[in-house]
Amino acid sequence: MKKTSAEQNIYDGLALIADPIHQYILFTVPKDKSAKSAGEITEQHIIDSPWMQRLRRIYQLQSARWVYPAAEHSRFQHSLGTMHMAGEFAKSIYPSLSSVCKDVPSCHYVEELLRLAGLLHDVGHGPFGHFFDDNFLSNWSLTHEIVGQNIIVDKLGDDLARVRRSPSGGFSRTERMDAQKVAYLIRMPEDGEEGRPPRWLQMLRQLFSGVYTADNLDYVQRDAYMTGFSLDMVDIPRLRYYTFFTREGLTLHQSGISALRRFLNARLNLYTNVYFHRTTRGLDLHLQEFFHDTMQMILPANPLNNLDDYLQCDEWTLFNHVQNWLRSKDEQKKKLAAEWKKLHDREVKWKMSFVAEISLDQIQPGVGFSRAADYEQQIRERLPKPLKSLPFKVDLATQDPRPLNPITEREKRINIFNPVTHKTSPEPLLEIYRFIPARVMQFRVFALNHDHDGDLAAAAEKVLGSSAKSTLTNI
């Protein structure tokens, strides 16, 4: 029997990516040769662009991959997962969004806008991810989000404007994808920056900047899977089902709080056991000593002034540079290359001498924050006289470069809908954290060897004991 047109075309323009977290990720491809020749741009084109392919060469877990051997996944994989997660949220929240904002575009447009923002949210990352932000991009008051916005608008804008459909269907006839809107979703403009986006777009941004986002809902699951770290069941479908928009913004139905607690607990434990692993932090302390000088040689100018050079800036290129420097006649390059070799050979320079853990329940807001340098000075003052010049470093695991560190989010609020009163109220995140028994604050002292662990531990305990209140509240 001859197939109908619908049966023949059901798979046209769509393809699947196999994924260990989401099983399959759907994405758009050209429907036929005529569409391709007519200049149709699909998600496949954006995924295959040099800017996205570059993310294959930037690892997701920075230094943690030297601690967890299987964690070799890239920003590219995570970006695909975030695209998928954003699209799933788009389909579930659109009815409530359209009831709150009458001027919202079509559901297919909103779906694709969120998917593209999810796909491109990390496009501005440099080698070693968030570490690159703090130790290089900060020279020009930049973040990877700012760089990413420029890439989206200046390098991918023309292609994005020619996207005409999502996996679910085509846009309305008058709708055109706007690179500026995609860029807005990955970073909200600061005060004084031009432009005031429509309310529906402001509300959508909460899916990228809230307590749970398309971004962290993917990386928590992906990082846990790739490290082999066991997580309690994270019920993402339930969390998504009970998420909707009210006039107050993104809102969670009271029935979804249990799913939120599971996710927050999983995320906090991942920070404690993976991102804040003692060896990971020790490697980062070593990397801080030579990363900035290395990048100054590889990329000496403001990246925004030469994005073409930034396109070539990834971890594979960085590795090739420093490998070649081992044979350089330039003494500075040789010195830097020697430090990189130690790191690549996993010669851990800084060893942990002391650790203190503080539970979230002990933390009280409102006390001034002490920096690692301040603690170092206080510990040094309490060391025996012969050890006053001993090399050591204090690491506060609360000071993490990742955005939206759960340890620093306690004062945030989340809209909770009460089905009994039919009212929405902003609840402090701290109230939800109260039911999560994770130990999260880690105060560590690192030294070059273990010869003086006892002295360092005794001095550190005295410092923490004499300033216990400020230590326990400085998060």
Q: What is the pLDDT of residues 207-257, one digit of tens each?
A: 999 889 999 999 999 999 999 987 767 899 999 999 999 999 999 999 999
Instruction: Give residue 356's region: left, alpha or beta (phi > 0; psi -120 to 50).
Output: beta
Cβ neighbours of residue 385 under 8 Å, at least 6 residues apart?
none
**Does residue 70 lie within any of the structural domains?**
yes
For residue 282 the two structure tokens come to 């020790």
Q: What pLDDT, on the 0 to 100 scale, is given for residue 469?
A: 43
Q: What is the dihedral of CA 182, 183, 186, 192, to 10 degrees?
A: -130
Does residue 379 contact residue 370 with C-beta atoms inside 8 Å?
no
Looking at residue 426, what is its pLDDT? Answer: 82
In a domain, 295, yes or no: no
13 and 162 share one domain: yes
Q: What is the mean pLDDT of residues 268-279?
A: 87
Asked whether residue 251 is assigned to any structural domain, the reply reads no
For residues 189-215, give the mean pLDDT. Answer: 85
Residues 277-288 have a mean pLDDT of 94
Classify the phi-psi angles of 39: left when phi > 0, otherwise alpha if psi is within -120 to 50, otherwise beta: left
pLDDT attached to residue 411: 57
Can you tell me the distance from the alpha carbon of 85 to that of 160, in angstroms, rounded to the nearest whole number?
20
Strands 413-418 and 249-253: parallel
pLDDT in tens, 123-179: 999 999 999 999 999 999 999 999 999 999 999 999 999 999 999 999 999 999 999
Q: Are residues 34 and 181 in the same domain?
A: yes
> Among 46-60, 190-204, 319-333, whose mean pLDDT is lowest?
190-204
Indicate the range of 64-78, 121-135, 361-375 predicted with least confidence: 361-375
Same domain, 360 and 211: no
Instruction: Indicate if the pLDDT at residue 421 is higher than 90.
Output: no
Strand partners, 447: 351, 392
pLDDT mean across residues, the chain: 87
Classify residue 191: in a domain, yes or no.
Answer: yes
Does residue 386 lie in a domain region?
Answer: yes
pLDDT at position 475 is: 28
Strand, helix or coil at 394? strand
Average of per-residue pLDDT across 325-334: 96
pTM of the prediction?
Answer: 0.89
Q: Tell me how far CA of residue 471 lies from CA of 192, 277, 372, 396, 475, in angstroms.
A: 36, 20, 11, 10, 9
Least confident of 228-242, 248-262, 267-281, 387-401: 387-401
Last residue of a domain, one of 185, 213, 228: 228
Q: In CATH, what number is assigned to the domain containing residue 37?
A: 1.10.3210.10
Q: Which range marks the domain in which residue 139 is found? A: 8-228
Whether residue 281 is contained in a domain is answered as no
401 backbone dihedrals φ, ψ, rounded to 5°: -75, -10
Q: How high is the pLDDT of residue 34? A: 59
Asked, for residue 323, whether it belongs to a domain, the answer is: no
- For residue 272, the model assigns a pLDDT of 82
Q: What is the tally of structural domains in the chain? A: 2
d(CA 182, CA 205): 10
Domain boundary among 191, 213, 228: 228
Q: Is the pLDDT of residue 194 over 60?
A: no
Is the pLDDT reported for residue 470 higher than 70? no
Name the domain boundary from 213, 228, 243: 228
